[in-house]
Amino acid sequence: MNADIGFVLICAALVFFMTPGLACFYGGLVRKKNTVNTMMTSIFIIGTGIVMWVLFGYSLAFAPTENGIIGNFSWLGLEGVSLEEGYTEGAAIPNMVFSCFQMMFAVITPALITGAVAGRMKFKSLFVFIILWSVVVYYPLAHMVWAQKGILGLEGIGALDFAGGDVVHISSGVSALVLCILLGKRKDYDHAAYRIHNIPTVMIGASLLMFGWFGFNAGSALAANGQAAHAFMTTAASAAAALLSWMLCDVIKNGKPTLIGACTGIVAGLVGITPGAGFVPIWAAVIIGLTTSPVCFIMISYGKKKFGFDDALDAFSCHGTGGIWGGLLTGIFAKEAIGGYDGAIYGDWAQFGAQAAGIAITIVIAVVGTLICYGITRLVTGSIRVDAKDEMLGLDITQHGESAYPSFNGLE
């Protein structure tokens, strides 16, 4: 057991590292005048996410109940969370270790939403929204998919979600789409050129995300075993394949491969393999990576223009779209000899149906939950969007009184 405990705790630390990585990834993509604000919208969730998880989040997400939708209050303050017994009977790690690992998921998931509204949402409003969203959307979904007797998970409709396709990526991606539509486009979105201001920071952020993602996926085996090694390898294979296919998309569309494209491809491949990392063969992970990048690329390059939404940093286009694609392909490629369940190509079309149902229900929960959180946030904070002057000056100065580049005096 000690080896399993050590392994999962290390993986928890790796998952934690993804949030600073996301801050770098998002921070490099925006204009100079919004760098601090964009990074802060990820970093503050380290505070709110962990405190909420300790006080009541873990209890709501994982305390055993019969309803299959949300936990009760029996583990408030982590009271009663065992240091010896597992969350489930026969688990390789104690309940407290499982809580530590899952806590880091509760931090990174709402941070993904913030990329869609970069440059135009009041920080106090986002602060309130993220707290509400964690309670209304994330904790119930985590319970429904991963908790004992969850209605969407293996004891419910049977949707497979190894490390967070539904719970993390589709939920945050769809919520990001709804929120950016409600908030409206950036003031000069239709006629200004938005230049990525720091490509090296984006590359560092993508690298940190991939580094942490090995803990994200491999750690979801919840033991130092063969399935963890398998998830590690499928993660690497999908990310690598997606990097290459995004480069190809760049060449086909623009004639040249780009570093931003390569970094985005890595993230897309990681998103795509997340739901099936411990269920699909390694060769299937390559296919998932190769195909997830074009799907996300099309949404970014053509879908946003077609449907007219301003998903500033492509939170929906990568995480929502990639999560849906990866979840469906899990229902096709899952193999019983690897993770205990067969997909469509191995004769079980019902598994594909379960995947589609789980995704559809997740989308509904994310949409309805986001509308509820948006409405409550408006009641609490008033206007959610910064005014036109603040948007022009930049959110670093207007929301935080500091600048990432003190010598810079422009409005870029």
For the chain, what is the radius of gyration of the CA atoms?
A: 20
Rounded mean pLDDT, 87-107: 97
Measured CA to CA, the distance from residue 217 to residue 64 in angstroms comes to 24
**Total structural domains within the chain:** 1
Per the domain annotation, does 353 fall within a domain? yes
Nearest one of 135, 143, 277 to 220, comparing CA atoms: 277
Q: What is the DSSP letter of 407?
A: T
Q: Are 36 and 405 in contact (CB under 8 A)?
A: no
* Residue 148 pLDDT: 93
Q: Which one, of 120, 116, 127, lies nearest residue 43 by Cα?
A: 127
Q: How far is 222 from 165, CA to CA, in rounded Å?
A: 17
How far lies 330's CA from each of 164, 225, 290, 325, 351, in Å? 12, 21, 14, 9, 9
For Cα atoms 63, 68, 69, give the angle at the middle one, nearest 5 degrees.
85
Read off φ and ψ for residue 401, nearest 5 degrees: 70, 25
Contact 195, 251 (CB under 8 A): no
Residue pLDDT, tens place only, 298-307: 999 999 989 9
- Give the mean pLDDT of 95-108: 98
Average pLDDT, the chain: 96
Q: Average pLDDT, stretch 90-112?
A: 97
Q: pLDDT of 381-405, one tens digit each? A: 999 999 999 999 999 999 999 999 9
Q: State the pLDDT at residue 55.
A: 98
What average pLDDT does range 236-246 have in this prediction? 98
User: Cα separation of 108 and 338, whole Å?
Assistant: 28
For residue 102, being part of any structural domain is answered with: yes
Per the DSSP assignment, residues forming a β-bridge with 385 are 121
Is 179 within a domain?
A: yes
For residue 178, give every residue at least 6 positions away whose Cβ sits within 8 Å of its Cβ, in sequence order, or none. 366, 367, 370, 371, 374
Give the pLDDT band (50/70/90) at residue 189. confident
What is the Cα–Cα distance from 43 to 48, expressed in whole angstroms?
Answer: 10
Taking the C-alpha atoms of residue 303 and residue 183, their distance in angstroms, rounded to an integer, is: 19
The tokens for 106 are 């509760």
- Spatial CA neighbour of 313 closest among 45, 37, 42, 118: 118
Mean pLDDT of 292-302: 97
**pLDDT (average), residues 110-119:** 97
Give the whole-number percent of the chain exceeding pLDDT 70.
Answer: 99
Q: Does 101 fall in a domain? A: yes
Residue 386 in domain: yes
Among 309, 33, 305, 303, smallest CA distance to 183 is for 309
Per-residue model confidence as pLDDT tens digits over 315-362 = 999 999 999 999 999 999 999 999 999 999 999 999 999 999 999 999
pLDDT, position 407: 73
* Per-residue model confidence (pLDDT) at position 406: 85
Residue 194 scores a pLDDT above 80: no
Q: Is the pLDDT of residue 79 over 70?
A: yes
Alpha-carbon dihedral sign for residues 41, 124, 186, 33: negative
Closest CA to 282 of 244, 325, 226: 226
**DSSP-derived 3-state class of residue 121:** strand
Evaluate if residue 296 carries a pLDDT over 90.
yes
The total of other beta-carbon atoms located within 10 Å of residue 8's CB is: 26
- Are the beta carbons of 293 and 269 closer than 8 angstroms? yes
Q: What SS3 state is found at 311?
A: coil
The tokens for 234 are: 């499928």
Whether residue 268 lies inside any domain: the answer is: yes
Residue 189 lies inside a defined structural domain of this protein: yes
Q: For residue 2, count other CB atoms closer than 10 A to its CB.
A: 8
* CATH number for 360: 1.10.3430.10
User: By percentage, how much of the chain surpasses pLDDT 90?
Assistant: 95
Which range is least confidently modeled, 71-75, 185-189, 358-362?
185-189
Q: Is the pTM of this model over 0.85?
A: yes
CA distance 64 to 150: 9
Question: Can you read off the two tokens belonging to residue 78?
Answer: 């982590």
Range of the domain at 79: 2-400
Q: What is the DSSP letter of 219?
A: G
What's the mean pLDDT in 363-373?
98
Query: Which of 370, 282, 276 lies closest to 323 in space, CA to CA?
Result: 276
* pLDDT class of 409 with cuts at 50, 70, 90: low
Task: Supply the pLDDT for residue 410.
Answer: 55
Angle at the Cα of 323 from the Cα atoms of 30 and 145, rounded to 5 degrees: 125
Q: Tell me the CB-side half-sphere exposure of residue 250, using CA atoms within 13 A.
A: 16
Q: Which long-range contacts (CB under 8 A, 24 or more apart) does 301-304 make?
A: 301/253
- With a cut of 60, say whether residue 411 has pLDDT above it: no
Beta bridge partners of 121: 385
pLDDT band at 408 (very low <50, low <70, confident <90, very high): low
User: What does DSSP assign to residue 320?
Assistant: I
Q: Are 60 and 143 in contact (CB under 8 A)?
A: yes
Confirm whether 409 is domain-assigned: no
